[in-house]
Amino acid sequence: MPSPADFLASSKSSVADERLHRAIDTAAHRFLDTRAEVFAGFPNGEALRQRARALKEQSLARLDECLEALQAALEKNGATVHWARDSAEARRIVSAIAAENRVSVVVKGKSMLAEEIELNEALEASGIEVVETDLGEYVVQLAGERPSHIITPAIHKSQQEIALLFHRRLGSPIYTQAEEIAAEARRALREKFLRAEMGVTGVNFAVAETGTLVVIENEGNGRMATTIPPVYVALLGIEKVIPSLRDLAPFLDLLPRSATGQKLTAYTSLISAPAQLGNRKQEMHVVFIDNGRSRILADPAMREVLFCLRCGACLNACPVYRKVGGHAYGYPYPGPIGAVLAPNLAGLDTASDLPFASTLCGACRDVCPVKIEFPTLLLELRRRIATARGKRSERAVVRAWSKTVSSPLLYRLASRLARLCEPALRWPAIARRLPLARSWYEVRELPRLAKRRFSERGPEGDGRGGKRT
Amino acid sequence: MSEDARAAILASVREALRETKKGSQEKQDEPQALPTDAPADLCGNFLGELEALGAQGFVVSSADEAAGVVTPILARNQAKVICLGDGPWAASLRRALASLGTHEISYLDPQSPPREAAAAQAGIVEAHAAIAETGSILLDTRHGLLASLLPPLLIAFVWRKKIFADVASALEEIAREGRANGRVTILTGPSRTADIEKKLVLGVHGPREVVVLVAETQVPGT
């Protein structure tokens, strides 16, 4: 499991990077605008969000039955099902399938779960060439980076940077048009698709009743990766199961609209059986991956994290994400969803910064297709982190503050004291030496105290109190 | 090993749901159908959506008419090799194109190996349904899916009566026709990406050009 980095440290450079802000801001606002537009012409949108949320809740309530039914249906259709408790087990399973089939090239569709279990590294360690085939993901792979957005992995890169990257890595001319770059990728990747012995993708939804995996994408790379290679491996997070095909409709209505502002993406593949090409019968494997999900299921306060459709809308809406970018989160899932997923999947102690990387403004909840209550979840995580690892000094300060403000006498004394100390506190050399205050002062200035205390002022304009200045 | 993992995961899921299951025995309310205004003109809406997607749509009532529509498109794409799917309309179009005889075309079976199919400049297939609201066509791709995937130009027939209003009714049709245990692709316009500075580029891996021929009849008249 990738461990989320120290958010404060890693966000410092991106906060100062204005080029990055512009790139992300432009893209994120375009996402938000197209989303708003498509929802405006979609009168059932609000009711559908409510229904999708209820459907997720009901599906998870019978997750065990759904998983068993899904396995039975998939096996009946000719696929092989594997179960993985954690990422190490999932990596072992996929590596073993690759080894059995003497695989040398793997083509991958975009999969957040593959990032989560760090599959590429494992396959590469056994000498396999792993090729990302989503254009943005391919760019990020060529650059030796990680995706910084769930939907647009190379959101942080300008066209010019990508053109130079292609020039350096693929020897192509320095293109000036996005079309030329995409055409170069098409040529390079077409060859990989035809050569690869194995395709790997994630899964957006799985329908238990019919054994159908739903793969949603725009480029056609997902369709290629699931059909052309003789071996296809699907990575399925166990929370993605829904009972029946009719339950799928509201999700297909909501996910593309929330993610890219489209009514549907170019390709929605319903995959229930191996792909047949001529006489070749494809080998199809589905890996059911838990990796912390059943633990979240057992936590009533956190369960709704599992409703997430991975649409990325909360990233676009988040003022913090737009300022720091995806890499600062140090985790495959950035933004608000990362801030609630990381502590739950990777553990409170490794991701203790992320729940604090939020203004709690709730813009994420307002665009979420399944109405995840992000602010409530973030506050609960903060509470747990503070209880588990709050510094004794911090707790003492908060306790003292709480005592002071609840006692009129202490409060009056304290505000007098503050007035006395104010000039000293303004002196940076002194202020920065104060315990706990240092990091506060680094990025802020102390606001000036009013000339008169509130209690000394009467209602405005009554002749007794001072006028507001 | 996988058996152990299966048992362990199912056990922890059941343990996690113990309280939930106890509490939610009675309530499992059926969601009410949301109001949908049935569009009067499904075909018109469908054609409009296709255009918005950057695809083209035509209504045809005979194979000759279809040949007349696609001939200039094939010529513009310099299509000499066509990957041809199964179905009466596809077969009739091939005959009609041959009788026009404007240029030499060779045909590939969609079951051909991917490397051969990848050399085709166009694919012709029959969709089994369409969705008016989204401009999508539904392709049963259990067999011979390469025709709709590898060539840069896709020409697809769909019977006018099989245009459904929305995604929900199309999914019902998939279930009704028993296609849900195979492979179905809901294809909505040309392959596209906006991964570079959110600029829209068509034809990344799949077809760049999509032409849908709405057929007035299920099979072409003779």
**pLDDT digits 0-9 by tens, A173-226:** 999 999 999 999 999 999 999 999 999 999 999 999 999 999 999 999 999 999
Per-residue burial over A221-239, b if 16 or more Cβ lie within 10 Å, else e, is bbbbbbbbbbbbbbbbbbb
CB B161 within 8 A of CB B130: no
Q: Which helix (H) or strand (E) holds B211?
A: strand B209-215
Q: Which residues pair with A286 in a beta bridge?
A: A81, A234
From the list A27, A182, A294, the residue facing B198 with the nearest CB is A27
CB A408 within 8 A of CB A388: no
Query: What pLDDT, on the 0 to 100 scale, is given for residue B34?
Result: 59
Tell me: the pLDDT tens digits for A326-354?
A: 999 999 999 999 999 999 998 888 888 89
Query: What pLDDT, on the 0 to 100 scale, is given for residue B36?
Result: 59
Cα B191 to Cα B187: distance, rounded to the nearest angstrom = 9
Bridging pattern class, strands B56-60 and A283-289: unpaired
| Nearest of B171, B134, B157 to residue B210 by alpha carbon | B157
Per-residue burial over B149-171, b if 16 or more Cβ lie within 10 Å, else e, is bbbbbbbbbbbbebbbbbbbbbb
Q: Which two tokens stand for residue A28?
A: 């994120």
- What is A325-347 written as a DSSP string? TTGGG-SSS-HHHHHHHHHHHH-
Cα A337 to Cα A438: distance, rounded to the nearest angstrom = 30
Chain A environment of B206 (Cβ under 8 Å)? 219-220, 223-224, 266-267
| Cβ atoms within 10 Å, residue A456 | 11
From the list B9, B187, B188, the residue facing A290 with the nearest CB is B9
CB B43 within 8 A of CB B67: no
Gyration radius of chain A's alpha carbons:
26
Cα B66 to Cα B89: distance, rounded to the nearest angstrom = 9
Q: How many CA atoms lie within 13 A of B80 on its CB side?
A: 3
Asked if pLDDT for residue A388 goes beyond 70, the answer is yes
Q: Which residues pair with A206 in a beta bridge?
A: A213, A241
Query: What pLDDT, on the 0 to 100 scale, is given for residue B28?
Result: 52
Whether B204 sits inside 8 A of A23 (CB atoms) is no
Interface test with A, best of B195, B197, B199 (most A CBs within 10 A): B195
| Gap between the terminal Cα atoms of chain B | 61
Q: Where are the alpha helices (DSSP H) in B24-161?
A: 42-53, 63-76, 88-100, 114-117
Determine if the pTM surpasses 0.95: no
Query: What pLDDT, on the 0 to 100 scale, is given for residue A466?
Result: 46
Bridging pattern class, strands B209-215 and B192-193: unpaired
Chain A environment of B152 (Cβ under 8 Å)? none
Phi, psi of B210 (to 5 degrees): -125, 125
What is this model's ipTM?
A: 0.94
